Amino acid sequence: MALSKEIGITVKKAKDLSEWYTQVVTKAELADYAPMKGFMILRPYGYSIWEKIREYLDRRLKETNHSNAYFPLLIPESYLKKEAEHFRGFTPEVFWVTHAGENQLSERLAVRPTSETIINEAYSRWVRSWRDLPILINLWNSVLRAEITATRPFIRTSEFLWQEGHTVHATKEDADKEVMMILEFYRQLVEEQMAIPVLLGYKSEKEKFVGALYTTTLEAMMPDGKAIQMGTSHNLGQNFSKSFEIKYLGKDEQTHYAWTTSWGASWRLISAMIMLHGDDKGLIVPPRIAPIQVVIIPIYYKTEDTGAITNKVKSTADRLTKAGIAVHADSREQYTPGWKFNEWELKGVPLRIEIGPKDVEKKQVTLVRRDNSQRHIVNDDAMLSDVQRCLEEIQTELFTRARSALNGSISETSDYDRFKDTLNDHGGFIRACWCGSPECEEAIKNDTGATIRTIPLRDEKPFSGCIHCGKAGAKVTYFAKSY
């Protein structure tokens, strides 16, 4: 039985992103494969990143009067069928429960693929009057959708953790506002906390959520030229309220169908963070989302140093903790400092503090940034402010670097051959004009594998006819291959 484990990443990110990704996920102990094909175990370190995401979003939602609730995991087939398009969309992916113990159930139960149907049944009972509106409920749970294609941790798994919000409003305008407010929360989470720049916009009719009036999305670009969807926020119109009879008596004494929205973001966010910021040594976690922002590693040469170093490690950790910085002092005796450096670099802790005999003697500490390996020495007096400044700089620089990568990935073209060449060559977003027809959209997908990732929220000035059919009156649209 081997005592040591191979912890380093053995492949270059630029050479084989896919293998690099798998190694980072498993070796940094973010996640592990489960015995059942398509399922993943979220390990403690990965879960602690998910907790940071959840805390941020939960706070924003509570500040705006959203409440959490819990709805059952199992949904009767007849409920899923109430919104016909929705049912057609999800049914190939549904896990079906047919037995409880030895007894066959009289009706099959779906393991929740999403909760619109079961929550709207309740809303139809809870909503009576305009006084009851809006209803703003969010669920933190897991959903299951059978994946037939190859699975990848965090990106494509048959079960994933997410939040799903479901709201009811009196008017379309109120529902529109909700959809856009949530999209903005997602943008702030993704760009400002996770340092991942995104394009915002609408999905096409073909790509929108099944059963929605319209879908808005956030799209990030990965280093291999493929886009990844970071969250979606849907105006469901009156489709579900009509299927589920969600009606209210208005101030006008008339009954009206309500307007509903739904929106979700999942642990997939973590996959983009890994791919975008990581390097050949492993993960780099942006400071604002890092469960451990600073790791302190004591460096002993002689036994007589131990006491003073241990004390300084403790007092440094205490100062940082008091200032609200998430710090971990790694005092394990069974590992060398070098081993610890590698482990915490692999896990992407943004800042390392080394404390050795010389640091004690000179009343200083040594700081090492994870993102660029820069090391510098700082006096004890200036330690706290320097750590704070470093963390802010890392956050900003990660975002700035990613922002220029995103901008650099966008190719604009009005020529379909160049469109195809670019996709074959290096991918990225293609900014092109599209006439709006599902036929052109389908043809482009068949020719190139690229889909419409997003149509800008505000129309951008078209610069050509449709990239596929050449027809005039086309809209600026972003295409890409995607995860």
Binding site for a second copy (CB under 8 A): 1-3, 5, 32, 34-36, 39-44, 46-48, 50-51, 67-74, 76, 79, 91-103, 109, 111, 118, 121-122, 125, 128-129, 131, 137, 141-142, 144, 146, 158-159, 161, 247, 249, 255, 334
User: Rounded to 5 degrees, what angle do the CA atoms 210, 38, 41 make?
Assistant: 110
Integer Cα distance of 384 and 392 in angstroms:
13
| Contact between residue 434 and residue 452 where contact means Cβ atoms under 8 Å apart | yes
DSSP letter, residue 296: E
Let me know: does 10 contact 23? Beta carbons within 8 Å: yes
Closest approach of a second copy to the CB of residue 375, in Å: 29
Number of Cβ atoms within 10 Å of the Cβ of 105: 14
Kindly tell me which of 39 and 300 has the beta carbon lying closer to a second copy: 39
User: What distance lies between CA 272 and its chain's CA centroid?
Assistant: 7
What's the closest the beta carbon of residue 314 comes to a second copy, in angstroms?
17
Total length of the chain? 483
Least distance from C-beta 153 to a second copy, angstroms? Answer: 12
Q: Which residues contact 346 (CB under 8 A, 6 or more apart)?
A: 7, 8, 9, 24, 27, 28, 281, 282, 283
Query: How many Å apart are CA 326 and CA 292, to the nearest integer?
Result: 5
Q: Which is nearer to a second copy, 31 or 378 (CB)?
A: 31
Cβ nearer to a second copy, comparing 129 with 400: 129
Q: Which is nearer to a second copy, 247 or 418 (CB)?
A: 247
Closer to a second copy by CB, 2 or 150: give it. 2
* Distance (Å, whole) CA 482 – CA 225: 8
Alpha carbon distances (Å) from 389 to 290, 351, 354, 395: 16, 11, 17, 10
Kindly tell me which of 28 and 402 has the beta carbon lying closer to a second copy. 28
Q: Which is nearer to a second copy, 67 or 385 (CB)?
A: 67
- What's the rounded Cα separation, in Å, for the pair 41 and 58? 23
Give the shortest CB-48-to-a second copy separation in angstroms: 7
- In angstroms, give the least distance from the CB of 223 to a second copy: 27
Q: Are 211 and 236 in contact (CB under 8 A)?
A: yes
Q: How far is the CB of 79 from a second copy (least distance, A)?
A: 7
CB-based contact 234:165 (threshold 8 Å): no
- Kindly tell me which of 45 and 393 has the beta carbon lying closer to a second copy: 45
> CA 253 to CA 157: how far, in whole Å?
48
Beta strand pairing call for 31-33 and 40-42: antiparallel
Asked if residue 137 lies in contact with residue 126, where contact means CB atoms within 8 angstroms, the answer is no
**Shortest separation between residue 197's beta carbon and a second copy, angstroms:** 28
Least gap, CB of 383 to a second copy (angstroms): 26
Return the axis-axis angle of helices 416-425 and 438-448, rounded to nearest 10°: 40
Shortest separation between residue 132's beta carbon and a second copy, angstroms: 10
* Region for 463 from its dihedrals, namely left if φ exceeds 0, alpha if ψ lies in -120 to 50, beta otherwise: alpha
CB nearer to a second copy: give 257 or 393. 257
Among all chains, which residue has been given the structure tokens 């610890």?
A: 340
Between 93 and 174, whose beta carbon lies closer to a second copy?
Answer: 93
Question: In angstroms, what is the minimal distance from the CB of 101 to a second copy?
Answer: 4
